[in-house]
Amino acid sequence: MEKDSQEILLTEEQIQAKVSELAALLSEEYAGKDPVFVGVLKGVVIFYADMIRAMDIPCQMDFMCVSSYRGTESTGRTMVSKDLSSDIHGRHVLILEDIFDTGNSLEFIVNHLKIKEPASLKICTLLDKPDRRNPSVTVKADYTGFVIPNEFVVGYGLDFNEGYRNLPYVGILKPECYA
């Protein structure tokens, strides 16, 4: 798998330092608020687990699964295959996301969750790829780990056809691996 990476974009050490930094900010922001942290499956699992362990506040965990990708391209159509299992009405909700790419899925999720009337709704993303953003997307990340170039990345939960998720770093996948 490592031979398929064109370049290591973010090392394991860089990622863990950023997770610690974000966790400290979020621990302060959500202290005493009994938040619900919503992970967007599947890519967020590793980031989510690391964030939860790095925080020093209690929180409720929940997950959603939405999809709009086939291979390396967005289909433009988002579907919920797993919704929240908890009631977020009146709760402080933080969406944890692995990558903020086109923004179509994230905007869909935000609109979907707003209907459930949370007390607050914010977004924390590990990776932000603004060059891919759909110009009509209006949501913004409240907390961002890294801004990355418009490259197809894998590792640390991010995949190509379900592979590469277990790499401890974020790497740029060689084009011949997905062409």
List the catalytic residue out of 101, 128, 131, 159. 101
Q: Is the Cβ–Cβ distance between 124 and 96 less than 8 Å?
A: yes
- Tell me the two tokens of residue 164: 């590469």
How far apart (Å, rounded) are the C-alpha atoms in residues 136 and 102? 10
**H-helix or E-strand containing 105?**
helix 104-114
Sign of CA dihedral 17, 36, 120, 141: positive
Distances from the Cα of 90 to the Cαs of 52, 58, 142, in angstroms? 22, 17, 19
DSSP bridge partners of 10: 170
Exposed/middle/buried for residue 13 (C-beta within 10 Å: 0-12, 13-18, 19+): exposed
Q: Is 101 a catalytic residue?
A: yes
Q: Is the Cβ–Cβ distance between 59 and 30 less than 8 Å?
A: yes
Give the 3-state secondary structure of residue 121. Answer: strand
- As annotated, the active-site residues are 101
